[in-house]
């Protein structure tokens, strides 16, 4: 049975699109049941609506960066009502805390544009260029209450070239992200299937 995904994003939504493309290409047995964004202008909402996926704005009660508990409780309920079984953060820029994590224990994933534990936090690709490293990449991991600290599921590496700007490096990382995220979801879903067949 296709696993039901809830997606949270704040920006363009290219990772959500990659998940959707993998579903349409039957490379991923999943269904996106709800897309939520804290940014009413985020293109991820438009992409979702174009694909006839319910898409809604999260009311963060006027907080610019904080994710208030009340808002997290509300979306936890919305995601449950939509039937979501696995939550995928796809460029979501607020820190998730207990209300959501407790509702979906070990079922919240994130994609981060660095080889964690290196460069957690914002604009990781820029941090990599500024640090002068020769290798960068992306990581899919389980979300815990820390910032980009949960157990790692999968990583992909890309070279950092001497002529790279933050933007060219981010573009190279994003190309890998679009492959890595659907693959990592597949890997996690396969573990659920193994567990349930053993029960």
Question: Which positions touch ligand GAR (CB under 6 A)?
Answer: 9, 11-15, 44, 90-91, 111-113, 124, 174, 177
Q: Which is nearer to ligand GAR, 44 or 53 (CB)?
A: 44
Shortest distance in whole angstroms from residue 196 CB to ligand GAR: 30
**Shortest Cβ 174–ligand GAR spacing (Å):** 5
- Tell me the backbone φ, ψ of residue 40, rounded to 5 degrees: -60, -20
Q: Quick one: 83 or 121, whose CB is closer to ligand GAR?
A: 121
Strands (E), 27-177: 30-37, 55-57, 86-89, 108-112, 135-142, 152-159
Across the beta sheet with 135-142, what order do the strands follow?
55-57, 30-37, 3-9, 86-89, 108-112, 135-142, 152-159
Whether the CB-CB separation of 75 and 9 falls below 8 Å is answered with: no
CA torsion 7→9→11→17, rounded to 10°? -20
b/e 151-175 (16+ beta carbons within 10 angstroms → b): eebbbbebebeeebeeeebbebbbe
Q: Which residue is nearest to ligand GAR (CB)?
A: 91
Residue 112 known to be catalytic: yes
Tell me whether strands 55-57 and 30-37 are parallel, antiparallel or unpaired: parallel
In DSSP terms, 163 is beta-bridged to none
- Residue 75 neighbours by CB distance under 10 Å: 23
Catalytic residue among 112, 141, 170, 178: 112
Of 171 and 190, nearer to ligand GAR (C-beta) is 171
Q: How far is the CB of 100 from ligand GAR (least distance, A)?
A: 16
Query: In this complex, which beta carbon is closest to ligand GAR, that of residue 104 or of residue 181?
Result: 181
Cβ closest to ligand GAR, residue 151 vs residue 194: 151
Name the residues annotated as catalytic: 112
């Amino acid at each position: 049975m296709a696993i039901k995904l809830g997606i949270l994003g704040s920006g363009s939504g290219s990772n959500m699109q990659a998940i959707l493309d993998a579903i349409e290409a039957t490379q991923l047995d999943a269904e996106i049941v709800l897309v939520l964004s804290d940014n009413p202008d985020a293109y991820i909402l438009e992409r979702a609506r174009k694909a006839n996926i319910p898409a809604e704005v999260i009311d963060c009660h006027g907080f610019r960066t904080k994710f208030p508990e009340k808002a997290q409780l509300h979306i936890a309920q919305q995601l449950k009502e939509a039937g979501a079984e696995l939550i995928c953060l796809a460029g979501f820029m607020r820190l998730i805390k207990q209300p959501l994590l407790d509702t979906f224990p070990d079922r919240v994933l994130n994609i981060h544009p660095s080889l964690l534990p290196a460069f957690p936090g914002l604009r990781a690709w820029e941090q990599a260029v500024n640090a002068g490293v020769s290798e960068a990449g992306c990581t899919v991991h389980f979300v815990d209450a820390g910032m980009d600290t949960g157990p790692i599921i999968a990583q992909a590496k890309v070279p950092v070239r001497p002529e790279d700007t933050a933007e060219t490096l981010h573009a190279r990382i994003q190309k890998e992200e679009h492959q890595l995220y659907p693959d990592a979801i597949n890997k996690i879903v396969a573990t659920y299937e193994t567990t349930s067949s053993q029960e």
